[in-house]
Structure formats: C-alpha cells, structure tokens
Amino acid sequence: MNLDPAAALLGLLLCGNAGLFVPALIARIPEHDPPAYGAVAARPHLAVTGALVAGIAGLLVGAVTGLDWPLIFLLPLVPVSVALAVVDLHTHLLPTAVVRPVQIGVVLLGTASALLDDDLPALGRAAIGGLVVLAFFHALWWIHAAGMGYGDVRLAAALGFALGYVGWAALVIGVYGAFLVFGLGGLAVALVRWDKSRLKASYPFGPFLLAGRWRASSWGSRSGAISRRGEPSGSPYAHERLVPCFVGSPRASPTARPWSRSWRGCLPMSG
C-alpha cells in the first residue's frame, strides 16, 4: 500500500482546521429540551479535541486515498463525524438537522467524484452499499427499537454509501468493526468497573459506527493507491507508482479526459 504524504498533509490541515469549528456546528443545532446542544458545545477544550481528532482522521484518509476526487466527499465527512460523535456521546441522539444534510451531501459529492473520475462502477457500488446498510440497520431498529435510535439508521445509510464507494472490503470492515468495537467497549467498561449491570446499560452507537467507518477508510481497502484502479492486472504499470499529471503533459496517456485531472491515465515516473 502506497501512502501519499501530500494528500496526508492536505487532510491534516483541512480537517484539523475544520475540527476547530466542531463546537460552533454543535451550537447551531436546533435546541430541544432535552437535550441542550448548547451545553455540549460549551464543554471545555472541545475545539482543541475536535481539531486533534479530525486532523488525525483526515491525515489517515488523505494518506490512503491520495490526491484523488473521492477526497471531495471523504474529507468533509471527517469534522462533521467528530461533531456527531460528540453529540451522540453526550445526548444519545443523532439530530436529523445534521444527519439529513450529511446524507444529501455525501450522495451529491460522491456522484460528482465518480463523474469527474470516470468511475461509475464506484458510484453503483456506493448506491448498493448505502441501500444494503440502510436495510440492515432499519431491520435492527424495527426488531429492537429500544436498542437503536433511527438517527443511527440514517447515519448508517450515508456511511454505507461512502464505504461502498471505497470498496466492498471497506463496507464489511466498517459495519462489522462498529459492532465489534461497540461490544468490546461495553465489555471493557464492565470489567474495569467490575459491574455486570454495565453490560445491560444503554450506550450511544453513533460514535462506534463512525469509528468503524473511519477505520475502514484508513485501512487502504481500495487495494493500494487509487491511481492504479484503471490498470488491468496484466498491464506493465499495474504495480508501478503512478503520479498526477494534467492532460497534454508528456506522461499523459491517450485515455486522459481533457476536462479532468487524470490520475489513472498517467504513466509512471522513470526510475
């Protein structure tokens, strides 16, 4: 797996700076009684913590994804995910006022990424992933509504779309990882406090769902650098490090589109 330091730095800077506005985003959520989102937004050191967590997540996603079009919807998800995790952790709710725009934004930006990158199979995979995850979580909610809020279902659909775009392995790892970390977290709390009743306590699932999603994204499950997707397995460039180039440059291949920055259509650097 090749890591892209330039994309990692970009993710760190963009998401780290956006993480500073996590308290402002939470404070703008329409208030209900309960919960009081303003009180959550006013928690000490939230801006610094949000910047740190978002920056690290952005760095990992950028390093694995590379300077490629999917970053236009993967990176904006990072600070919003941090805000949602904080809200759910303290209120056990995922407000529709935030989750609904996330759903719409992920679909629109994911579609734009697929069109710009000429990767319609990824868009189809994303749509299937979102629908499958939505159906799965809706079934869990329908079977035991007391154990999962519908905000988790809405959020899971958006994350399923993003993970499906990344790849089938990422989708499985993201969903399975969320349940695994959730279960192990509850068990760890019960063991540390030596209290069996903790196993039956209610815990927010949203933070674990988001953690599983970002763990899957940073796993590199797109089989290495995204820039190699278009190379057939028998191509002499299938295992080479491809580099960005603009159409018309000496390394641009004939398949490069004139209206987009071509990553798959660039020949590897010599040496």
What pLDDT digit, counting tens, does each position of 127-138 carry?
999 999 999 989
Within this chain, do residues 29 and 55 fall inside the same structural domain, yes or no? yes
Whether 76 and 186 map to the same domain: the answer is: yes
Q: Do 43 and 175 fall into the same domain?
A: yes
Q: Structural domain tally of the chain? A: 2
Under the banding of pLDDT at 50, 70 and 90, the label for residue 211 is low
**What band does 227 get if pLDDT is binned at 50, 70 and 90?**
very low
Query: Residue 49 belongs to what domain range?
Result: 5-227
Contact indicator for 248, 257 with CB cutoff of 8 Å? no
Q: How far apart are CA 51 and CA 14, in angstroms?
A: 10
Question: Mean per-residue pLDDT for 7-31?
Answer: 94
What gap in Å lies between CA 254 and CA 248, rounded to an integer?
9
Integer-rounded Cα radius of gyration of the chain: 20
The Cα–Cα gap between 31 and 84 comes to 15
Same domain? For 219 and 250 the reply is no
Tokens 């799965």 identify what position? 136
**Mean pLDDT, residues 263-271:** 42
Give yes or no for residue 161 having a pLDDT over 90.
yes
pLDDT higher than threshold 90 for residue 261: no
Tokens of 235: 């191509």
pTM: 0.73
Same domain as 260, residue 202:
no
Evaluated on CA atoms 68, 73, 75, 78, the torsion sign reads negative
Q: For residues 132 and 153, state if they share a domain.
A: yes
Average pLDDT of 156-174? 88
- Same structural domain, 147 and 266: no
Asked if residue 265 and residue 141 are part of one domain, the reply reads no
At residue 216 the predicted structure's pLDDT band, cuts being 50, 70 and 90, is: low
Task: State whether 91 and 139 are in the same domain.
Answer: yes
- The residue among 245, 101, 73 whose CA lies nearest residue 165 is 73
Both 258 and 166 in one domain: the answer is no
Please give the Cα distance from 229 to 45 (Å, whole number): 41
pLDDT digits (tens, 9 = 90+) for 60-114: 889 888 899 999 999 999 999 999 989 988 888 889 999 999 999 999 999 999 9
pLDDT tens digits, one per residue of 31-66: 776 668 888 999 999 999 999 999 999 998 898 888
Same domain flag for 212 and 243: no
Which of 110-119, 186-195, 215-224 has maximum average pLDDT?
A: 110-119
Beta-bridge mates of residue 252: 266
Higher pLDDT, 197 or 233: 197
Burial class (CB in 10 A: 0-12, 13-18, 19+), 251: middle
Identity of the highest mean pLDDT range in 132-141, 183-192, 193-202, 204-213:
132-141
Q: Which residue has the higher pLDDT, 34 or 238?
A: 34
Q: Do 140 and 248 belong to one domain?
A: no
